[in-house]
Amino acid sequence: MPANLPYIAPNQLCIGLYVHLDLSWWEHSFAFNNFKIKDEGQLKQLRTLGLKRLRYDPARSDCEPLTLAETPVPAPAAPPPPPDPQEQARQTRVKQLSVLRKRLSEVDRAFIQASQRVKTLNQSLRNQPEESVKQAGALVNELVTTMLGEDGVALHSITGKAAEDAYVHSLNVTVLSMMLGRQLGLDAEASHMLGMGALLHDIGKLEVPSKVLLKPPPLTRPEQQLLEMHTLYGKRMGEKLMLDDDVLRIIHEHHEHCDGSGYPQQLREASIGRLSRIVCIANHFDNLCNPLDPRVALSPHEALARMFLPQYRVRFDDVALKAFIRCMGVYPPGSLVQLEDERYALVLGMHPTLPLKPTLIIYDPAVPKEEALIVNLEAEPKLAIAASIRPSQLPPEALEYLNPRQQLTYYVDPRRR
């Protein structure tokens, strides 16, 4: 709308005028900042905003504004009207949004602290292995306490730049494995073993040359064999560190598949440790979403769908895989989606008990990106997701606005309610 539109007083408003509100989206309850007045209800809402003047567009209006002479004579002072339900609802939404933004900010900060701790322990594994294991144990203990809280946790995707740190794979696998372990009813002791094994599952890669680790597929047969040795190298390192047998088993078996197609021993389901089967699922999911070549990355929704295809699901523990899908939700955090009203959104977080009611950030060109609307679908019964979509399906302006990270990273929020 042109900036040189004429101004009118609020008492010149009438049905049929096309008006523009010079307000931020949270300062009013209308869907857009510019629109045509359709009824008396909208007139009443506009007048309660307390504006001294507002702009209107003559070219898009059905009529002229009232002249000042036509405006009604002010009535005698009357008692203040009862609170407007729509205004009260707007104020409630503003408060809820403020709380939600604060919560997401706290989750981001907690993730940054955890990822820095993982980076430090990875860097010190060679020279100070005992200290690294001690640091790993402390971090896992904190996650166990968080995961096993009364109300559980909400899973969030991390949208900040820290999510693109090279060390977050092991943290991702740890968080996802422990979420799945909670879904399966693991107690504190088993959860701790699971977390330690997940956090240290790739320590054997310290013995694999970086030119092999960083080479995108396809690898030569000798390179693939060398890469697969990381499970044996990791087990040997873990034995020197006197890690628990359950942790050693995860390190050695996290690439074993239930149909015998995995490595290093081509074990079948009954021979693979229960905790190893959990880490295998989380590790495989993260590798699909965060491959070395980002051009072949799958969305979280696509990754779950692929893992559930008949030719792939036979690789995984059936009970654990179904629990993982319940745990991640129909539209996992990090997914791009389209709502039933055709708006685009990015899934920020979800609670396992509400798989169809995640928290979203919504693309709205009328709202500045830094003030983007964050909505919890649990509190918005009229909103629903229609489909998951790929980044290539979004208009460029929507993709830039929502800004999904190339590397998908997760962390947890213990304060769900």
| pLDDT above 70 for 209 | yes
Q: Are 89 and 29 in contact (CB under 8 A)?
A: yes
Alpha-carbon distance of 282 to 195, in angstroms, equals: 12
Measured in degrees and rounded to the nearest 5, phi and psi for residue 25 equal -60, -30
- What is the average per-residue pLDDT within 152-178? 76
Alpha-carbon distance of 134 to 129, in angstroms, equals: 9
User: Which residue's entry shows tokens 């460029």?
Assistant: 396
Helix (H) or strand (E) holding 359: strand 359-362
> What residue ranges of the chain are covered by domains with CATH 1.10.3210.10?
102-329
| pLDDT above 80 for 309 | yes
- % of the chain with per-residue pLDDT over 90: 49
Cis peptide before 218 (omega within 30 of 0): yes
Res. 386 pLDDT band, cuts 50 70 90: very high
Which of 1.10.3210.10, 3.40.50.2000, 3.90.1170.50, 3.30.1310.10 is the CATH number of 102-329? Answer: 1.10.3210.10
Per the prediction, the chain carries an average pLDDT of 87
Collapsing DSSP states into helix, strand and coil, what is residue 336? Answer: strand
Taking only the tens place, the pLDDT of each residue in 33-60 is 888 999 888 888 888 888 888 899 998 9
Alpha-carbon distance of 10 to 29, in angstroms, equals: 17
| pLDDT above 90 for 5 | no
Q: Are 128 and 121 in contact (CB under 8 A)?
A: no
CA angle 249, 255, 257 (to 5 degrees): 100
Residue 150 confidence (pLDDT): 58
pTM for this model (two decimals): 0.76
Residue 163 confidence (pLDDT): 46
Highest averaged pLDDT of the listed ranges 70-74, 173-177, 290-294, 367-371: 173-177
Res. 276 pLDDT band, cuts 50 70 90: very high
